Amino acid sequence: MNKKITTPANAKINLHLQVLNKLPNGYHNISSIFQSVTLFDTVTVEVADGSVVNVFTENAVIDGENLAKKAAELFLDSTGITAKVNITLNKNIPIAAGLAGGSADAAAVLKSLNAVFNNPLAKTELLELGLTLGADVPFCIMGGTALAEGVGEKLTPLPFIGEFDAVLIKCFNKSSTGDMYHRLDARQNIPSSITKDIINALEQGNTKLAFSLCTNDFLGVSDNAVQQKAIISRLYECGAVFAGLSGSGPTVFGLFNSLDDNTINALKNEYGNIYICKTTE
């Protein structure tokens, strides 16, 4: 047996993210709108006879636990399949950026292995398996535009917002997500979710109204909030129809009806390493 499959692992941004009540287990209910973008890692999965999982990264060093390896091991354990799995990651999504890069890689591994072995797991089973790896993994399996509730695992597909040019800017190191949650827990009043109003606007095709309602609670408690808000303002000055913070940061993004070279070059000169992509279904 020797089979090989290469899959793009798309990043995601949060168009909207509200942190609601804290749960008894220490996690938090969220209400978020996820959107896939065309910035992707390339994940190659090669299967042969044997019983070991190896992960190789072509252009990045991944510290700590590797979700891609964990995904392969979980798939093999869950299906009872024995195989040697070599995974090669070509990283384009920046690490620790709030773009779900690790989750996207894990999702690509699960989808690839399921395809190689003729779909032993149904889509629902694959999503359930992904959830045990992380709250963003099921969305990365599904993709598109979706409402995420619970801790991010309750997914409801939404109408695609349409294709926009996107600029992703990562200028800072990631703030401690735990610290940011503690700061949010200290709020006197937990705001009620406005996500339903955003969804109503999307369903009516009114993206302008939907974008005007979108927010991200982490932007108010990030260590880099002042600088991130300044970048968001700059993106609007450049013509963005919407700009915000992705996840708990640090990446700031802007969506444009159309990006020209002058704008791209100006942003590169100001912020250095930026990523140009599009929203995608």
The residues, any chain, with a CB within 8 Å of residue 36's CB and separated by 6 or more, are: 10, 11, 12, 143, 144, 145, 279, 280, 281
- Could you give the angle at the alpha carbon of 140 between the alpha carbons of 41 and 167, nearest 5°? 60
The one-character DSSP state at 206 is -
| Set 41, 105, 136, 165: catalytic member | 136
Chain CA centroid to CA 193, Å: 21
Chain CA centroid to CA 171, Å: 18
Q: Which of 109, 113, 159 is nearest to 134 (CA)?
A: 109
The one-character DSSP state at 84 is E
Which contiguous run of DSSP H or E holds residue 115?
Answer: helix 101-116
217 in active site: no
136 in active site: yes
Going by their DSSP bridges, the two strands 165-169 and 154-157 should be labelled as unpaired
Q: Mind telling me the catalytic residues?
A: 12, 136
